[in-house]
Amino acid sequence: MTPYIDSYYTRTLADRRGRPALAGTQKADVCIVGAGLAGLTTGLELQRAGRSVILLEAEAVGWGASGRNGGFVSPGYSRGLASLEGAIGEEPARRLYDLSIEGMNIVAQNIRDLGITDAQRVDGIFRVIRYEDADGLQRFRQRLRERHNYPLDFWETDKVREKLVSTKYFQALLDPQAFHIHPLNYARALAAAIEAAGGRIFENSRAVSVDLDKPEKIIRTTAGEVRAEHVVFTGGGYTDRLVPKLRGSQLPIATYVLVTEAAPDRLAGAIRTRAAALDDRRASDYYRLVDDGRRLLWGGRITTRTSEPRELAEMLRRSITDTYPQLKGIAIDAAWTGLMSYARHLMPQIGQLQPKVWHCLGFGGHGLNTTAIGGRVVAEAITGRSDRIRQFEPFGLVWNGGPAGTAAVQLTYWHHQARDWLRERRAASAG
Ligand SMILES: Cc1cc2nc3c(=O)[nH]c(=O)nc-3n(C[C@H](O)[C@H](O)[C@H](O)COP(=O)(O)OP(=O)(O)OC[C@H]3O[C@@H](n4cnc5c(N)ncnc54)[C@H](O)[C@@H]3O)c2cc1C
């Protein structure tokens, strides 16, 4: 068994096959460093376009954020739409947002075309708010419909509380096209599809040195090397110092997930929908029923500390009972953590480091759709089929600011937490 952390996903993993480590010299058109969803989508798109690929993965396919996340697949980026428009203007922001919708559709299409039933796709995501703001939600809904032809359903508070039985909640938007999945099974199925198309994947194969300046790029592990015309770096929040400029542009941020014991009757008193839910706070809670509705998978909190907190399960359990006091005392079966990669501008960093050396990372907490479109536009750039990758040019590899940058992120997060708390207090005293 490959070295995964213990999580609900590893306990329910459908494909447990391991893969060999790289040995000797291997050749391919493209070498991809990192087999998370960014690397896997890039590889699959390239293999489909007739290019041979080799993926090098330091641990195992989907070992990083891609196999540990909440499983929410929805449009958008870590950076909100309004902020995106403010930064680059309405039209470029509209086109980027449309790419994020395409990213969601790529995941849906892969699941359908490759018959990935183990991805356990369930439709629908509620975006709920913890204060009164029907007008704000309606404005957002109208904007998405008019500019992106993307429909959302508006739900009034009483209807929301019938499905999500919590007095913390007010209105919501239901996105019927968004969905949730078992992300590790999805990642493993993409790997199998790459191999079925002739691509090769090596696990336990950390790239430890590179020569990038000659026409033939060389990527070395301790036991072998890959020679390729192109290299794509897709190390996400686990990006190491292999290419210092890439590491220096990432802020790894930890976030947490747990899954409860099987308690279908108790859960039915709190969550009466198979759609997933998340709120709009910076440190949003996000959750969904899994295991055919018998268990609750719950995620939340972020921190710049990358070590696992001692009281992880207890910390998250408090978030559950804050929203659903009726679930007090529910037992936790597994709790785990993962690293997301953020750039200071909160947008993916998809582009070219130097000729034929590409990077596709920085997907933050919104990676399921954005890794898919990231992989596709990198593949299109390599094969010369489009230059859509240029739409990401405004958001390049900016320096993360070193330790001061990390501290600034933590402070901003606490500031947002305090603001969210105040907004909720006001809602509670008004109600
Ligand atoms: C707990 C958690 C919950 C999340 N929930 C959601 C969600 O619900 N919806 C959503 O859209 N997004 C979510 N995200 C974000 C999403 O999971 C990520 O943005 C996305 O998976 C990033 O994919 P990636 O391929 O860039 O990185 P990763 O999946 O982290 O993969 C990077 C891989 O590169 C490998 N690697 C690094 N360096 C080397 C090297 N030198 N040689 C070889 N291999 C190397 C690593 O071992 C790793 O496997 C969540 C993230 C976390 C951590």
Walk along the chain (431 residues) and give the pLDDT tens digit of each residue.
557 889 999 999 999 999 999 999 999 999 999 999 999 999 999 999 999 999 999 999 999 999 999 999 999 999 988 899 999 999 999 999 999 999 999 999 999 999 999 999 999 999 999 999 999 999 999 999 999 999 999 999 999 999 999 999 999 999 999 999 999 999 999 999 999 999 999 999 999 999 999 999 999 999 999 999 999 999 999 999 999 999 999 888 888 999 999 999 999 999 999 999 999 887 789 999 999 999 999 998 777 666 666 677 888 889 899 999 999 999 999 999 999 998 988 899 999 999 999 999 999 999 999 999 999 999 999 999 999 999 999 998 887 777 666 666 665 666 666 566 666 666 666 65
Query: Is the alpha carbon torsion for 256, 262, 264, 265 positive or negative?
Result: negative
**What gap in Å lies between CA 361 and CA 373, rounded to an integer?**
12
Write down the pLDDT at residue 281.
83
Is 243 near ligand 1, meaning CB less than 6 Å away?
no
Contact 227, 26 (CB under 8 A): yes
Residue type for position 368: L
Residue pLDDT, tens place only, 298-318: 998 777 666 666 677 888 889
Is 234 near ligand 1, meaning CB less than 6 Å away?
yes
| Atom 10 in ligand 1: residue holding the nearest Cα | 366
Is 347 near ligand 1, meaning CB less than 6 Å away?
no
pTM, rounded to two decimals: 0.95
**What gap in Å lies between CA 291 and CA 161, rounded to an integer?**
23
What's the gap in Å between 67 CA and the centre of ligand 1?
7
Hey, which of 42, 68, 120, 340 would you mutate to test ligand 1's pocket, going by the most ligand atoms within 8 Å of its Cβ? 340
Write down the pLDDT at residue 306.
60
Write down the pLDDT at residue 2.
57
What's the gap in Å between 431 CA and the centre of ligand 1?
40
Is 36 near ligand 1, meaning CB less than 6 Å away?
yes
Is 75 near ligand 1, meaning CB less than 6 Å away?
no
| Atom 26 in ligand 1: residue holding the nearest Cα | 236
Is 187 near ligand 1, meaning CB less than 6 Å away?
no
Is 71 near ligand 1, meaning CB less than 6 Å away?
yes
Is 68 near ligand 1, meaning CB less than 6 Å away?
yes
**What gap in Å lies between CA 239 and CA 194, rounded to an integer?**
23
Q: How many CA atoms lie within 13 A of 397 on its CB side?
A: 17
What's the gap in Å between 6 CA and the centre of ligand 1?
16
Structural domains of the chain, ranges and CATH numbers in brackets: 8-426 (3.50.50.60)
